[in-house]
Amino acid sequence: MTTPAPEKTTRRRRPRRQPPAQRPRLRLGFAGWVVSWLVPTFVMGGLLLGLSFVPGLDDDGFLTPLIPLIGGAAVGIGIPGTLLVTWLYRHHLNPTLHVLGYVVVGLLYGPVVLLAGTGGLMPMLIPLVGFPAGVLLGVGRWAAQPLATVIDPATDEAPTDETPADDTPADDDVDTVSPTPGRR
């Protein structure tokens, strides 16, 4: 008895994934991270502080206690969350994915309001804190996009601000004698 010939499938084969060491990655750097996390956090705190000075808006005193809670959320959720998003998506070069990750981290600032107490208006303030924080962190990450660099291991060099120095001097630095008189 003979075995039948294998049939060719119409399914297309997937290309093999490159190992992480060979894929290009996005590097944000410290300055980009500060722009994408710290600046929106300061803006959020400034907005809450400004709203607490509006007469009639803070009669019950529920906005002023939110300022330290936002600071705590920024340190407890914002720092690890934004660093985790940056690390998880380092091989994804699409900036929209990074912005959406930062928005999700900002939305997590909202439930921190429950630490102030679950009675009264406090649970209703979760969207009042979470949505602006998410939008501000997303806008901050989008604004930091020019500070991000793509490191491509295929070229084996990271982009730098300075061009590498060659051992060959420039044309203006070389004083050569040309074979024809009067020409250089």
Residues 50 and 67 sit within 8 Å (Cβ to Cβ): no
Mean pLDDT of 69-86: 91
Q: What is the pLDDT of residue 82?
A: 93
Least confident span in 12-16, 19-23, 148-152, 171-175: 171-175
Angle at 56 between CA 53 and CA 59, to 5 degrees: 85
Split at pLDDT 50, 70, 90, the class of 140 is very high
CB neighbours of residue 54 within 10 Å: 9
Q: What is the pTM of this model?
A: 0.70
Q: Per residue in 85-118, pLDDT tens?
A: 999 999 899 999 999 999 999 999 888 888 766 6
